[in-house]
Structure 1
Amino acid sequence: MPVLDREPSRDSGGGEGLPKLPLPALKDTLDTYLRCMKHLLTEEQFSKTQNIVRQFGAPGGVGELLQGKLMERRENEANWVYDYWLNDMYLNNRLALPVNSSPAMVFPQQNFRAPIDSLRFAAHLISGVLEYKSLLDARALPVDFARGQLAGTPLCMEQYYRLFTSYRLPGPERDTLVAQESSVMPEPEHIIVACKNQFFVLDVVINFRRLNERDLLTQLEKIVKMADSEEERLPPIGLLTSDGRTQWAESRSVLMRESTNRDSLDMIERCLCLVCLDDATGAEINDSMRAMLMLHGGGAAKNGGNRWYDKPMQFVVGADGCCGVVCEHSPFEGIVLVQCTEYLLKYMVGSPSKLVRAASVSELPAPRRLRWKCSPEIHKLLSASADKLQRLVRNLDMNVYKFHNYGKDFIKKQKMSPDAYIQVALQLTYYRCHGRAVSTYESASIRRFQEGRVDNIRSATPEALAFVRAMTDGKIPTSVRSLNGLSASYFYLAITGMGIDNHLLGLREIAHEMKMEKPEVFKDEAYLISNHFILSTSQVPTTVEMFCCYGPVVPDGYGACYNPQSDHIVFCVSSFRESSHTCSAEFVKCLMQGLLDMRDLCQKCSNSTEHRKEICQNGDRE
């Protein structure tokens, strides 16, 4: 039986009053794992895996020993998987943060007619950030409640409190997520403004008073003027943060040799957030281009150095109206980012700019430029980081596509979950492009539990494969509706803490902690295939006009983020140009056709049902 808490825990660290994350029964997880993998393996691979799994789960075997240790861990921790998950998903990952890890929210295109307009926008945005931060500081943010299945369940709010108080510190083998919650250190009262690859300290509280919007605009104007000074222009140190994590950790160690650099790093690492005032890129500004510019800044020649990727929140305000926010993903999930950015955009619309009415503080001290002492070694490191970022820029193949033929209203009329429907459409798309099903990641929130983050729904089900094969082979299925319940069951397992991915990860990591030889089940080819997520998907719905985007998580994969609206669906499809197996444009083309084919099937089934009803009614009348 799975281990469950009967009584809710009162541990306020992960959400007061919420239950602990349950621990699924070992047999349930192993049975589900085999069911999830059978159709993704050859007969020979599956036969081998079946034997390995059976041996692992045998009475008195290794699996039972590890499960017992996990049960002990669950008793002693607020969330038994949290640290394992955080390290595995983020902190152990050595890839560069831009594109590979950090997602972005792309705001509606702004129409800045003069340079001052973008600064007014930035000042208004900063005012919104400070309002939101005051809600967080007062713990006055309303508690989130689940929607859809298990609607009304309160959710853990801890992720919100990391938005402006955390920092990802690079390490040679593993990064550290630093939380600024020390009673010794004062609360940060500054933000960092990046402009022309330079960094400036903008104090948002002076003489115990928060700066108003007029003050903020004044300070931003000073920063732009200082950044334009060619005599004081310093190297684009921010480029180092775009490098692989081990390389950046090494570069940071070199920087730390100088006290000037240590002071500058400290100011950046302790700031509330970054505001990046980007130069116009001169590129054609369409949705796909805006998404790419948010993710990587366009490289060293454009705004790639105008960033500090370790900071969770980087608000980008481009002179050409390209605006959004880039996030370091380890402290929080996408829904927390959505809630924050929706608040800010609604604040900017609902709270008109106070620039005209507000009186300015006289003689504001000028913002301070951060200084760097750069040795020839640092210049060499900067050059290497710039080259690698440029390769990443060239490699990213991003396609933002708005499907206008229908949206979630049509899907709901078919009595189906929009998320399940779109997931099946993505399975159909990949199958038509590549002729096979692949391991798929779809995040499912487990915030119903203390310190809950996510688990994986594993939407590449055998039922979905049977459906897409029938659609592709011309054997039209009788209905797409039958997949609705099947997808819902996997979804329900994940959101109730019964998903398999976190459990398998916990078993693997507890074996590592016990200094055991890695169990065969985790060396098996099937386990490697199961964790090579060629399709990395996520629904990120918004109530205001913006969209989320991110890169693929494997070299031969796709990132597929979607935002279902009432009458249309926004898809952000990414892949890497260096892979001969992927092409975002081709994927989008197949996706569009698949969505149309699924609509036709729904209508055909609906017409058939109506026809049967009519025959029955006529029979009754006769």
Structure 2
Amino acid sequence: MANYILAIEAFTTPAKLECTKLLIKKFMGPDGIGQKCHQYLMDKREAEDNWAYNYWLNDMYMDVRLPLPINSNPGMPMPPVRFTTVHDVARFAALLLSGIMKHKELLDSGNLPIDRAGSREKNQPLCMAQYYRPLGSCRRPGLERDTQYLAERGEKSDEHVIVVCRNQMYCVNLKTSSRGRISETEIASNILYVLSDAPCLPTKPPMVGLLTAEERTRWATNRNLLLENEVNQNSILLIEKALCMLCIDEPLPNTFNAYTFTGATPTGYMVGNRDDTNMLHEMIHGGGSNYNSANRWFDKVLQIIICTDGTWGINYEHSFSEGDAIVNVIEKIYKNLEEKQSACNSVPSDPTPERIPWVITPQVDERIKQAAVAVDKAIGDFDLYVYRYKGYGKNFIKQCKCSPDAFLQLMLQLSYFKLYGHFVATYESASTRRFLLGRVDCIRASHKEALEWATAMCQGEGANVPLESEGEDDDARKVKFSIYNKDKLKELFRIACNRQTEIMVQNILGHGIDIPLLGLREASKEFNNGQVHELFNHETFQTANIFLLSTSQVATKSDAFMGYGAVTPRGYGCSYNPHADDITFCISAFYSCEDTSTTRFAKSLKESLDMMKDLMKDETDQTK
């Protein structure tokens, strides 16, 4: 509770902070239920593998009713490849699927090497459950709470993927009980079959995939309508049990939501005239009903997306695994791809791909049309920008004797402060894989040490802190500025950076605050007639859990980058990927919020990074 107060004081008014302290005192006191709640969790810890896992999974994913694309599923473009013929597409797809099968066999053998911590209690083994969940699994929508379909390990059956092209879905076997694993040449032949068959069908396929992009309760209702027919039951089960989805897309036009801001460094990839932002749109949502959003099944844990222009990447359902595990697998497969993309001979495969049938009633057809409208509206509101900062990268930051992650978190705080004059609740995921079934806790970067430094960095800019504080004197809400020299600014930065690192270490070692607070909130229902304690209903707690900045570092070995949507209509999402001499930021917001703008945030980010280069330049010169 003491750490909770420290975490919120930088963006909470004095009056609300005092009220929160009183509620904590009441909760923890002799007449409160705090000690009972704590003991309840202690007992739960002894009885379960991970007392927090289901609390966290339901709160973070299963109970959330928002659509998966943009709001939950991340997308990741990989380094583009070059295709000259349709045979190249089929060959590349076959190599990827062969890599998936090799990884699956490694999992089944039990020989997957164990990841180990690279720092802070170095070499400690990390939980590997996240590697075993994605293949053959699927999220299922529920009217109130979603569930997960998890493939049974060691199940002896045919192993297949779903290949979807032009909204037509096909079952492609990669391994059969009678023949074993199918060769890459045979897989490529099957992909060629799909590529030639899908465009030639006489009737337009039903855009069933659009239903998976809707609000979860609505999708659950529509799924139940589909399941009334036995043909659809078999089709849905075939999709859910598939190892993964392979989506072969027509590329989005280069004009799709493409823009740059004045002074920005040119973006990295250019496939034709497509830029980074355009390609990330393709991976996150597919572009809408007129493009590729029906060419998906967003509940599927892993969707590999290949565009005919050489753009490719993934979309993944987040509830089963964090980004690191998915990235590690895809990058390993990518690294092992054969250099030659030779045209494959047409070698017949047994069995040939089967097109997945659907029985669409007039009612379901109407629901698909409604889904198209909803999906297109959501995509039209999605403000996305991929910004590559070329001024410096990890090498410069390490010369400053700073943790790159702590440094960049503080840059995000400064960038927000420069735009809005105040701090907000900030989320950064911290891996808790040192614990069995551990997923993440929350590193909170909006602390008072960061606020004091950001205020000093903005000296003379006259920013106000527009906190909602009815009845408080306006003077109490203003930032008091002093003029600081560079040495003082560096000192404040070191203090903020040390505090940020301290919070990060607390989280990865299991001493974060958000998971225990979630547990106490849920436990309080046991002793409060099924209702959460007033501490957790208070406005301060609610504000502390509305993350107007939702961030994460997604590091890659290749020149790939992962992005996702903001988690609240008034906020920003921002992933970042620091390389040696540059940093890629994927910034997201919503156009419907007049106060947010990804290009404006990118400008502020560039200014903040440039300011730090100027501030720390003397120190880096001394290290050379």
Match of 1:294 in 2: 283
Match of 2:381 in 1: 395
Correspondence for 1:204 among 174, 183, 202:
174
Match of 2:490 in 1: 478
The code of the aligned residue for 2:398 comes to: K
Whether 1:541 and 2:531 are equivalent positions in the alignment is: no
Assess if the C-alpha contact under 8 Å between 2:209 and 2:294 holds in 1: yes
Distance 2:526 2:89 in 1: 52
Shift of 1:501: 0.3
Distance 1:354 1:170 in 2: 42
Assess if the C-alpha contact under 8 Å between 1:91 and 1:176 holds in 2: yes
For residues 344-382 of structure 1, give each alpha carbon's deviation from its aligned partner in whole angstroms, at most 9, with x where no partner exists.
Answer: 110115x655866xx876553321001111111001110
The code of the aligned residue for 1:388 comes to: A
Whether 1:304 and 2:275 are equivalent positions in the alignment is: no
Comparing 537-546 with 108-117, greater Cα deviation is found at 108-117
Distance 2:494 2:199 in 1: 60
Distance 1:432 1:601 in 2: 17
Correspondence for 1:194 among 157, 164, 170:
164
Shift of 1:100: 0.1
Q: 1:138 to 1:587 in 2, by over 3 A?
A: same
Correspondence for 1:495 among 497, 508, 515:
508
Shift of 1:513: 4.7
The code of the aligned residue for 2:275 comes to: N
SS in 2 for 1:562: strand
| Structure 1 segment 232-311 matched on structure 2, within 5 A | 232-283=203-254, 284-311=273-300
| Structure 1 segment 100-179 matched on structure 2, within 5 A | 100-179=71-150
SS in 2 for 1:348: coil
| Structure 1 segment 580-599 matched on structure 2, within 5 A | 580-599=594-613
Distance 2:548 2:130 in 1: 27
The code of the aligned residue for 1:537 comes to: T
Assess if the C-alpha contact under 8 Å between 2:385 and 2:586 holds in 1: yes
Q: Give the TM-score, by structure 1 length.
A: 0.90
- The answer for unaligned runs of 5 or more in structure 2 is 255-272, 461-482
Match of 1:379 in 2: 365
Match of 1:4 in 2: none
SS in 1 for 2:458: helix
Assess if the C-alpha contact under 8 Å between 1:198 and 1:233 holds in 2: no
Q: 1:606 to 1:323 in 2, by over 3 A?
A: closer
SS in 2 for 1:122: helix
The code of the aligned residue for 1:189 comes to: E
SS in 2 for 1:478: helix
Comparing 363-372 with 91-100, greater Cα deviation is found at 363-372
Match of 1:70 in 2: 41
Distance 1:484 1:41 in 2: 21
Distance 2:543 2:81 in 1: 43
Distance 1:246 1:328 in 2: 17
Assess if the C-alpha contact under 8 Å between 2:96 and 2:333 holds in 1: yes
SS in 1 for 2:503: helix
Correspondence for 2:15 among 19, 44, 47:
44
Distance 2:194 2:620 in 1: 62
Whether 1:577 and 2:547 are equivalent positions in the alignment is: no
Whether 1:339 and 2:328 are equivalent positions in the alignment is: yes
The code of the aligned residue for 2:89 comes to: S
Assess if the C-alpha contact under 8 Å between 1:478 and 1:605 holds in 2: no
SS in 2 for 1:143: coil
The code of the aligned residue for 1:542 comes to: T
For residues 45-79 of structure 1, give each alpha carbon's deviation from its aligned partner in whole angstroms, at most 9, with x where no partner exists.
Answer: 11111111111111352111111111110110110
Q: How many residues align?
A: 576
Match of 2:540 in 1: 526
Correspondence for 2:351 among 355, 365, 373:
365
SS in 1 for 2:319: coil
Q: 1:373 to 1:513 in 2, by over 3 A?
A: farther
Q: 1:161 to 1:178 in 2, by over 3 A?
A: same
The code of the aligned residue for 2:500 comes to: S
Distance 2:302 2:45 in 1: 32
SS in 1 for 2:600: helix
Assess if the C-alpha contact under 8 Å between 1:214 and 1:355 holds in 2: no
Q: 1:561 to 1:589 in 2, by over 3 A?
A: same
Q: Give the TM-score, by structure 2 length.
A: 0.90
Correspondence for 1:418 among 396, 399, 404:
404
Distance 2:376 2:179 in 1: 43
Distance 2:35 2:510 in 1: 19
Correspondence for 1:229 among 200, 224, 227:
200
Assess if the C-alpha contact under 8 Å between 2:90 and 2:189 holds in 1: no
Distance 1:173 1:186 in 2: 33
Distance 1:461 1:118 in 2: 49
Shift of 1:134: 1.2
For residues 403-459 of structure 1, give each alpha carbon's deviation from its aligned partner in whole angstroms, at most 9, with x where no partner exists.
Answer: 111100111011110000000000000001111100000000000011110000111
Shift of 1:595: 0.4
| Structure 1 segment 346-361 matched on structure 2, within 5 A | 346-349=335-338, 352=340
Q: 1:605 to 1:412 in 2, by over 3 A?
A: closer
Match of 1:316 in 2: 305
SS in 1 for 2:320: coil
Assess if the C-alpha contact under 8 Å between 2:10 and 2:446 holds in 1: no
Whether 1:463 and 2:479 are equivalent positions in the alignment is: no
Q: 1:580 to 1:72 in 2, by over 3 A?
A: same
Percent identical residues = 38
Assess if the C-alpha contact under 8 Å between 1:213 and 1:354 holds in 2: no
Shift of 1:109: 2.2
Assess if the C-alpha contact under 8 Å between 1:397 and 1:583 holds in 2: yes
Shift of 1:208: 2.5
Distance 1:536 1:211 in 2: 43
- The answer for unaligned runs of 5 or more in structure 1 is 1-29, 611-622
Shift of 1:481: 2.6
Match of 2:480 in 1: none
| Structure 1 segment 430-449 matched on structure 2, within 5 A | 430-449=416-435
The code of the aligned residue for 1:263 comes to: N
For residues 241-269 of structure 1, give each alpha carbon's deviation from its aligned partner in whole angstroms, at most 9, with x where no partner exists.
Answer: 00011010000000011111111001001
